Amino acid sequence: CHPCVAMRVPMGSLSLLLALSLLSPRGSAGGSCPPRCVCASNLLSCSQANLSAVPAPLPRFTAVLDLSHNNVTRLRADWAPARLPHLHALLLSHNGLAFVSTEAFTHVPRLRHLDLSSNRLRTLDENLFSDLGELEVLLLYNNEITTVDRTAFENLGRLRKLYLGQNRIARFPLELLREGTRLPQLALLDLSANRLRAVPAGELQALPAWLRDRLYLHNNPLACDCLLFQLLDRGHRRHLSAVVDFQDELRCVLPGAPASVKILALAGQQPLNCSKAQEAVLEAHLGDSVTLGCDSRWQGVHSRHWVTPGGERVLGDGGNGSVVLLANGSLQLRALRPEDAGTYACWVAGPLLNETLYVELLVHNFTLHGPHDTLNTAYTTLVGCILSVVLVLIYLYLTPCRCCCCRGTEKPPAPRDDSINSSVLSTTPNHAGGTGEPCGSHIVSSTGTGQNGRFKGGGTPPLPTRQGPKAQRKVSDPDSVSSVFSDTPIVV
């Protein structure tokens, strides 16, 4: 054989192995890319591949699995026989999926995004998603769902967005929102385009504002009700996107009316003649006792009750020890706690129409407030001023004297004939004899420091003994500024 011919076969095999390694980045250890699928790094796309079942085996390194637009009608428990620890996104939309096993997600515990939209699911069975403790987004819109089991969303502590729009749900799943224990991090709930005829408006009003802003109820055959109007009217005034963006689709049906009407247009219209909700804001602090007023404009009120932010009704027979309904209709809260903050609703049934008043209570997380704060601030300011005055007095009058031996002695006036020699520019002290002799002048050193701490090699010569009126003349200091003047005799 020719040597070149012998080399062709190994080179062709090497090219094939190189192509397979590009399709499967983990090589044979991680598993090969399934047929009719495209693999790119840890992404596995099998969309529009005319699959009737999930391809097997799936590579363990798969992080995103796209099986949309196929014919996978049943998702059994064995679709992933081995654990897929890296899978965080599973897309199964547009498959005609009608059955999902309650054990279908046992081997994908790290799943964060699950898309089951545009299928034929009819029920959400018990504990269907309980294995997905890290799930954040669940898409179930455009199915045929009619019933939702109360435990279908158990253990979904991290779920933030739940899309249930365009289904056949006739009962509002309030258990998903009540008390915030089932789905504590839920920030979006889409129930639009279902078959809801009534919603618990009073309990929805008690929801936090961040959740009311993402509660979508449009395109439902809702029955017109004043509580529903006030719920949406308050959301419209607060510019909640779920109301403002879909105000034309938020419609309801009046009794005996052939067509639906806009819910936000019910104010003052017959036969309901709904009134706009009134609201107030009240601020308090931990441990305080506050009274929430319910000042209705209607006379002859038939009934009145309150609804707390937690959805509890406080009727006319009073409440527990911390929440009491007074005789005039006001609600008294004692020993405020942080969980007492929120929106309180007072429902008043009048002779002509009903009215709802809302009070938003803000509870500040500290106890010093009001007059105590003012007194405390004034006291602190007064003490600060007194301390400042004391420090100034200490500085002025109690500073130690650098020349203690000079206290009580006065320097005699300089002779008249020598006064002209003391220049205002001179910084040299007046070395006069007698009682005006400077402190420490009795110590004479041949070496020492001069003015301003500078070293003077020869020291200051001693004063010569002179007689006559000129005897008190100072010796000029060579470092003094005035020495150029003092050594020159001036005749007047």
Q: How do 342-349 and 354-364 pair as beta strands?
A: antiparallel
Residue identified by tokens 């309180």 is 344
Q: How far apart are CA 216 and CA 471, in angstroms?
A: 109
For residue 51, the one-letter residue type is: L
Q: What is the pTM for the complete model shown? A: 0.57
Report the candidate in 288, 272, 403 with the shortest Cα–Cα distance to residue 334: 288
**pLDDT score of 491:** 42
Q: How far apart are CA 264 and CA 127, in angstroms?
A: 38
What are the tokens at 373? Answer: 């704060």
User: What would the DSSP string read from start to end of 390-451?
Assistant: HHHHHHHHSSPPS-GGGTT--PPPPPGGGGGG--TT--S-----GGGPPTTTT---SSEE-G
DSSP state of 473: P
Q: How far apart are CA 402 and CA 432, in angstroms?
A: 20
CATH 2.60.40.10 is held by the domain 282-364? yes
| Per-residue tens of pLDDT for the chain, all 492 residues | 443 333 333 444 334 333 334 433 333 334 688 888 999 889 999 999 999 999 988 888 899 999 999 999 999 988 988 889 999 999 999 999 999 998 999 999 999 999 999 999 999 988 899 999 999 999 999 999 998 888 888 889 899 999 999 999 999 888 777 655 678 888 899 999 999 999 888 778 766 665 666 889 999 999 998 888 888 888 888 788 899 999 999 999 988 888 899 998 888 777 777 877 666 778 888 888 888 887 665 555 566 778 888 777 887 554 556 788 887 778 888 888 888 888 888 877 665 555 677 788 888 876 544 444 445 566 678 888 898 888 888 888 876 655 555 555 455 555 544 444 444 434 444 444 444 444 444 444 444 444 444 444 444 444 444 444 444 444 444 444 444 444 444 443
**pLDDT score of 19:** 39
Q: How do 64-66 and 74-75 pair as beta strands?
A: unpaired
